[in-house]
């Protein structure tokens, strides 16, 4: 974990900052995304450089009860492989636990297994998925 990075829970965050973060590593940042989904969040963790640049993010959605859902873990392209994403996930888990959640769920692509299972401590589980934009499911 970088000592220069400041981590915050539910700190102010703009849609433009998130679009920039996603685009920094080749993702397709969608303007308006954060403004639409923020109200469904238990909270989020931001990682910032001392000058304020957003370098990491994770969102924690929830069902209003025992289950929280880790979504959209992001690290600025120039800041990857420094432990920033691991720390935002750790803090997100701590805050979900403090809010009374019993479970923290995460879905990920196979290439991210080492990060979520090995580095962050998630246990592999069985799950189901329906791709709603694909008529075949």
pLDDT in tens, 43-90: 999 999 999 999 999 999 999 999 999 999 999 989 999 999 999 999
Pick the CATH number of 6-119 from 3.40.50.720, 3.40.630.30, 3.90.730.10, 3.30.360.10: 3.40.630.30
Cut 0.85: pTM above it:
yes
DSSP-H helix ranges across the chain = 15-23, 33-37, 84-98, 113
Q: Kindly tell me if the per-residue pLDDT of 106 is higher than 60.
A: yes
- At residue 15, the pLDDT reads 94
How large a percentage of the chain has pLDDT more than 70?
A: 97
Q: Kindly tell me if the per-residue pLDDT of 31 is higher than 50.
A: yes
Domain ranges, ordered by start, for the chain: 6-119
Q: Region 104-129: what's the mean pLDDT? A: 92
- Higher local confidence (pLDDT), 43 or 30: 43
Share the mean pLDDT of the chain: 92
116 within 8 A of 122, measured Cβ to Cβ: yes
């Amino acid at each position: 974990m970088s000592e220069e990075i400041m981590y915050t829970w539910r700190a102010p965050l703009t849609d433009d900052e998130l679009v920039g973060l996603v685009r920094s590593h080749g993702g397709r940042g969608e303007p308006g995304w954060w403004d639409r989904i923020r109200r469904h969040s238990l909270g989020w963790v931001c990682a910032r450089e001392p000058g304020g640049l957003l370098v990491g993010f994770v969102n924690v959605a929830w069902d209003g009860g025992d289950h929280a859902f880790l979504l959209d873990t992001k690290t600025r392209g120039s800041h990857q492989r420094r432990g920033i994403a691991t720390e935002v996930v750790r803090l997100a888990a701590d805050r979900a636990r403090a809010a009374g959640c019993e479970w923290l769920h995460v879905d990920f692509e196979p290439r991210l297994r080492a990060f979520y299972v090995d580095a962050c401590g998630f246990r592999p589980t069985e799950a189901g998925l329906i791709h709603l934009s694909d008529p075949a499911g």
